[in-house]
Amino acid sequence: MICADCDIAAEAEAMEHYLSKQTIKSIQLLVKFMQDHTECYNIFLEYVMNQEEKEEE
């Protein structure tokens, strides 16, 4: 969902150990929001691609 190039299972495991339950719940709500509002998610993806292009310059 966030376009991260990583080991998702390992990252999830790390999150469980280092983030509070409230922070994890907030992230879950954000993911649900993006799933329910695909137009916002598409804008986010476009933003990510633009930022990656800027970093390559």
| Residue 4 pLDDT class (50, 70, 90 cuts) | confident
Provide the b/e sequence for 20-29 (b: ≥16 CB within 10 Å). eeeeeeeeee
How many domains does the chain contain in total?
1
Interatomic CA distance for residues 29 and 51, integer angstroms = 24
pLDDT of residue 33: 97
User: At which residue do the structure tokens 């476009």 appear?
Assistant: 46
Q: What confidence tens digit (pLDDT) does each residue in 20-43 have?
A: 989 999 999 999 999 999 999 999
Strand segments (E) across 1-57:
none
Query: What global pTM score does this model have?
Result: 0.71
Domain assignment present for residue 1? The answer is no
Q: Please write the tens of the pLDDT for every residue from 8-20.
A: 888 888 888 899 9
Q: Write out the two tokens for 13.
A: 């495991």
| Structural domain includes residue 17 | yes
The verdict on residue 16 lying in a domain is: yes
For residue 32, what are the domain limits? 8-56
